[in-house]
Amino acid sequence: MLEVKGLTVHYGAVRALGGVDLSVDEGSVTAVLGANGAGKTTLLRTVSGLLKPRAGSVELDGRELTRLPVEDIVRLGVAHVPQSGGVITELTVEENLRLGGLWRRDRAALTRRVAEMYELFPPLAERRARTAATLSGGERQMLALARALTGGPRLLLVDEPSLGLAPRVVAQLMAVLRRLCDEDGRTVLLVEQNARSALSVADRAVVLDLGAVVAAEAAATLAADDRLRHAYLGF
């Protein structure tokens, strides 16, 4: 579904990604793992159009994305949940959710999707009239994910959902991601520092180090590979 070829991204003179190849199958959860500064976030931001690559291509079902503006990539069904944030703090929970699906211009479907999100994340339903600024970190992460889902994306890019959250909340979020894939047939590209919890839900995993892919395996194979685990994943 998603084909990344030879992706090279620079921040000024600093190279963040150097020729990354990646392939994501439809209906799977792919984890992108690696240490700080490995280029995981850069990869996601380039796929969603927030960054423009110096070289290489990103194709969604054969369609080149790198020249499109962010809003058009969203409209092709790619939703990005950025690292810590991605919610509009001064809008209410309800308004945030509706914002995520506004571009579809189908009010009835949007209302239905918002109701589904309240079912999926019950804490949000209790706070629907509160501004997002009043939410806790975990609730914000839920809201960011729910907001991305109200657009009905085919490909979900999730950047470190576990950041700063209690292990139990992380486990719940991971379970939700798995369900989105199994039950709704969505494709998930998950960036994580927390390799253990990411590998527990992923089908495949890619390990980045210093802007290059050092391993791309089935999640189970990777979890069983002691050498890789020690060298790059730290457990």
Partner 1 sequence: MGTVLNVLRRSTLARHTAAALAAIVALYFLTTAVGPYRDLQIAQAAYLTCAVAGLTVLTGLGGQISLGHGAFMAVGAYTAVLVIGHWGWPLAAVLAAAAGVTAVAGVVVGAVAARLHGPYLAGATLAFAVGLPGLANYKPLTDELGGQNGLTLVPPIPPAGLGETFPLERWQSWIACLGAVITLFLLGNLVRGRFGRTLRASRDDEIAAALSGVRVARLRITATVVSAAAAGLGGGLLAVVATLAAPGAFPLTLSLQLIAAIIIGGLGSLPGAVWGALILVYVPTWASDLSTSSGFSHNIASNLPLAIYGLVLIVVTLAFPRGLQGGLRDIGGAVRRRARKRRDPAPGPRASTSGPTTTHPGGADEATPDQAGARPDDRGDAGGRGERLRR
Which residues would be at the binding site for partner 1 (CB under 8 A)?
Answer: 48, 50, 69-71, 74-75, 79-80, 82, 85-92, 95, 98-100, 102-103, 107-108, 111, 115, 129-131, 133-134, 147-148, 151
Rg from Cα positions in the chain: 17
Given the complex with partner 1, which of 15 and 130 has the nearer CB atom? Answer: 130
The smaller minimum CB distance to partner 1, of residues 74 and 228, is found at 74
Closest approach of partner 1 to the CB of residue 37, in Å: 21
- Cα-based distances in Å from 169 to 51, 121, 128, 197, 210: 30, 11, 20, 11, 30
Least spacing, CB of residue 194 vs partner 1, in Å: 23
In the complex with partner 1, the residue whose CB is nearer, 9 or 148, is 148
* Residue 19, SS3 per DSSP: strand
Q: How far is CA 135 from CA 130, 163, 203, in A?
A: 8, 15, 32
Amino acid identity at 168:
R
Residues 19, 31: Cα–Cα separation, whole Å? 18
In the bound complex, what is the minimum distance in angstroms from residue 50's beta carbon to partner 1? 7
Q: CA–CA separation, 146 vs 138, rounded Å?
A: 12
Residue 8 or 131 having the CB closest to partner 1: 131
Nearest approach, Cβ of residue 91 and partner 1 (Å): 6
